[in-house]
Every structure is written in structure tokens, then in C-alpha cells.
Chain A
């Protein structure tokens, strides 16, 4: 699925969101959580959410056995351990960490996640939220 080719009408977006979720269902346990805001997402954010479920969630999802979430909980506290809930992630910082790794995190190469795809993931992480950012959210 290529984000650039998607229609941006709200109906189309809702359909795409439903399709993405439906595709995710059989193995939904490993996927990014469904968002009630799905129909407000841009095609790039939708694509990013799907890519996050493929490339990031195994270490940065919620629950036990997630190495990245556990590491962030130790380093920054429980409330900032889940990347998808964070509102303070800077684009250049995420790009750098994904390409170079950080601590025990291993880098992702451009052959497995292209720059365009990484851009979608960051768009998803930076999607607008229904609520205001929590206080003290700066990195």
C-alpha cells in the first residue's frame, strides 16, 4: 500500500482504516492498538500505523516481553515508556535512533524500512491527539 496513492476523502479514509484493522485481525495481538481517531488520520499516518505494527511493536508495544518498552520504563518512567502514547517525539531524533540504534536497540536499515516508510511511522507517532499533551512532555 502506498500512502501517496490513497484518496483523502473522509469516507475513503474510514474505509481504509477499517481495511487496515481487518487485515490486522488474524494476528491482532501483535498489532498497534486500534484508535477511535482512525477516521481523522491522514493516509500517511494510517500507513505509518500499519508499518509500526510490522516493524516497531514487537519491542515497543504494550505488555510483557517488549524489550524497548521495558528499557524506556526503566530509563524514563512508566508513563513515558510506550512510544505510541508519547507526544514529545522529535522527527530528527526518531530518524537518528531508528537508523543508528540506541543502547540495546538495533538499527533498521533502509533495505527493510525505507526513508519514505520511516516518514509514515513518524507521521503516525506525531498524529494529533484528542487531548492536550501532558505537562512536562519535552524530551
Chain B
């Protein structure tokens, strides 16, 4: 049995009874056999070090509010998850042992989809699969934008500032209006939702006065129970482009060639340059490719490329819109990418409407779990810990960071499956899975050590991570050191004001309530 901090078994039993009276007996999970499903199977260490005491699954906003009031009364930490699929960043795992996971999966209604105005309003339990099926079933000409795993929550992913691969890839930017249960149980609507029955909830982000939506992203200041999300009109044509690069050094020049196209809008979706290792992950297992310990030796690479028909890099992006505009843009792009040394000719695959192939994947907003094929790579309990730095979109920076990280990963015994992606017109992300077998404690520990060392390197250059696993949130937060962690101190000030009992997701993003805060030197 795991108990919430400073609570006796007897008092916890009383709390569980109160929770059951709110959500129903079957929707509070305290038995070990049930609770284990909320542990993070990809935890880079001992997942039980932050083991939950229970999971509670309300079905309505009123039940969420009632649960929050119980938590305040007994000072029970609550960790809200939408679908709890935030794998590689912690899954459904809390940051503090004994926390009660607030599982919102049962709140899974698509409340509205407006085809004329291009938005949906959803509850936390709605997955990308759900929304995609809904649009298809209704014949609505709108596309979703989804991250690699289609079973993720539309709402939860936006709250974590997740990314997809269409022009609507920046999910936090596409969010419009929220309903939030505050840590005291009070219900608030942001944006135009602040006006009762407003038809503008899904259209206009800003209310009259301050906009607080960003405050509820990557934070522990509220439980978001409804959210508007903008959806892209189905384009007249969709053209998926690919350029293979036959030299290791071609990646930098490609990034430099893509940057102006991304900045001036010729390319509207994230343009990605994926390494051969990144492409190989989903096609093979490590033992099929290399039976030795440590990273795959460089003298094996040419043979592996041949065996699996890989190039050093593969560049991918797509064009969306009216056929004439897309054709004209394609001409500009062919010219811009033509002179890159080691670049093959650009291949372009045009499709439209229902003819867009499923293989177009996230670039066409088609949800799948195809990315999970990569989990077969390490063998055993195949897992990944994502290391997700943000850089300026510069070829020089990309090549320097690539060489540094490639060697650092190898020193720790890991392959480096990098993808450099110009995610927004002005940023380049390199979301890199550290692939490991979670049933091998030594490998899991090594993955954690690599993460810390790679993160420390970023700090020396003024770079940071866009997202991080719950096991590393404190140190990633601490790295934001300007003026003695002024940003963290601001977050703590807001935390104390909104959550005086400190019940909501203690430790999320490295923000702790007053009573649990360690004195900073």
C-alpha cells in the first residue's frame, strides 16, 4: 500500500470512501494490480519511487470539482492526466510518491465541431483517433493535426505544447478557449468562453482583459476540462515531398536552404531532416543490425545503409492548398534545394481528398501508432526517453550539435536517432528518443545519465528543452536561471495564490507548493 504524504492508512481509507461516493465505487483504483497500469513503464529508473496511492476517474466536471474539494480538505496531492499517454515524458506518472492520479479519460465527449469556422471543442479523454473518426464519419472536410501516437489526448497534448506535422502543428498556438477547474474547485472559462453561451469560444482567443490560457500549459495551476482547438480546412491538393541526402555533412546545408522557405511561408508545415538511424528504428531491431554492445560502430554504417536502403538523411515536408499555388511553390522549392551537395532529386507525391494515403501519416493528419514500431528496437521492454532540445534553425548549429550529441550518445552506449525539424518558422527542434530496455536497470540508468549530461551541455550554449520527463523536471526548471530563477519564483508566487493547500500536481514542471519547496541557496 502506498499512502499520500503525511496521511495514515485509516484517514486514507476515509478519503477513498469519499472519492467513491463521488465517482462511484468502480472508478477509484487502490489495489496494486490496478494502480500499476498508471506507473510509467518507460521510467528511466525505479517507477515506484513516484508510485501513485490511487487513481480516481470522474465522468463530469461536477465530479472533478467535488474530488478537488475532497483533496483540499485532506491535503491530498492530485495529478491530472487526460489520457495518460505522455510516454517518453512520464506517461501518467506523478512527480511525488503517494499522489492520487486524476484520470480524465472517461470525459471523452466531442462537444462541438464547426466545419464552417474550423474548430472543435473537446473534453480531455478525446483522442486524435476519436476526433479523426468523428470527422470522417460526419464527412466533414477538416483535418486534424496529430503527434505520432494517435491515442494521445487532443487536449492533453496541447496542454503539454505538443507538436504535429501539418501547418497546424503548434498545438498550444491552435488552442482557443478553455474551461478550467481551479485548485480550489472553482470553475473558470477563458477567452470568449467567459461570456455565457458565446458563439465565439472556438474563434477568438483573447477575452476583454488578461488572457490566462498559457498559464495552464505545462503547469500545475488548473485542471482543464474543455478546450477549443482549431482544425485546418481540407486542402485542395496535398503534396508530400522527400529529399534523400547521401552525405552526412549535407544536413546543415539542407537546414539553411529550408529556413527561408519556412520563414516566408513557402513551406507551411514542420520541415524535418531525419537521420538514417531515425529511419532504421521502426524497421529493424537492434540485435538484427548489430550484435555488439554500445553504439553501432561507424565502419558498419555503409553496409547498413545498403542493406536497409537508407541514406544518411531523409528530408520531409508537405505542401497544402490550391493546386496552382502548390505547383508554383514546388518550383521555387526545387530550385532552392537543387544545389545541396549529396542531395537526390526531390520526389513529390500529389493526392487529394479521400485519395490521400494513410502512409502520409502525421503530415496529412492521419493518426496511427506506427511510431511504436520503434519500440521493438532495443528488445526487452522497449522504451524511449525523449531528449527534446530547441535551437535556432541554423545549419551550422545543427551540424555542430549533431556531431557533439552523436559522440555523446555513443560514449554512453546509445545510438543517436536524431531528427532536426524546423517546427515553427523560427525554431528548430531535435526530438531524439534515447532507446532503452526498461527491464534492464543498468540500461535505464545509463539513459538517465545520458539525458542529464546532454541537458547540461545545452545549458552551456543557452539552449533548453521544450518538454521533459517527469523524472527530470526539477533540473530542467532550475536551468532557467536568469535573475536567480526569477521565472520559477513567479510561478511559485502564482502557485501559492491559486493553490494555497498545494494539492495540484506537486512538482510538475519543477514547481512545488510552498510546504514542499526546498529552500534555495
Q: Residues of A with Cβ closer than 8 Å to B? A: 23, 26-27, 29-30, 54, 58-59, 64-67, 70-71, 74, 99-101, 103-104, 106-112
Contacts and interface: CB of A to CB of B under 8 A. Distances in A.
A104 B133 contact: no
Contact of A65 (B41, B129, B373): B373
Contact of A58 (B29, B106, B369, B376): B369
B240 to A, nearest CB: 16
A117 to B, nearest CB: 13
Interface in B343-360: 358-359
Q: Which 3 A-B pairs have the closest CB atoms?
A: A104-B382, A65-B370, A104-B375
B105 A27 contact: no
B84 interface: yes
Contacts of B373: 65-67, 70
A107 B85 CA distance: 10
Interface stretch (B31-39, B64-72, B154-162, B228-236): B31-39
A91 B405 CA distance: 46
B84 A109 contact: yes
Nearest to A69: B373
Contacts of A30: 358, 368
Contact of A26 (B57, B139, B380, B382): B139
B83 interface: yes
A10 B506 CA distance: 56
Given A26-B137, A27-B132, A109 B382 contact: no
A34 to B, nearest CB: 17
Given A23-B137, A26-B136, A106 B87 contact: yes
Interface of B: 27, 29, 33-34, 36-38, 41, 55, 57, 83-84, 87, 103, 105-106, 129, 132-133, 136-137, 139, 150-151, 282, 285, 358-359, 368-370, 372-373, 375-376, 380-383
B359 to A, nearest CB: 8
Nearest to B136: A26
Contact of A104 (B106, B150, B381): B381
A100 B27 CA distance: 18
Contacts of A58: 129, 150-151, 368-369
Given A58-B150, A67-B369, A101-B41, A110 B34 contact: yes
Contacts of B370: 64-67
A8 B87 CA distance: 41
20 contacts: A27-B133, A30-B358, A59-B372, A67-B370, A67-B372, A67-B375, A70-B376, A74-B376, A99-B37, A100-B37, A103-B380, A104-B375, A104-B382, A106-B41, A107-B37, A109-B84, A110-B34, A110-B37, A111-B55, A111-B105
A109 B103 contact: yes
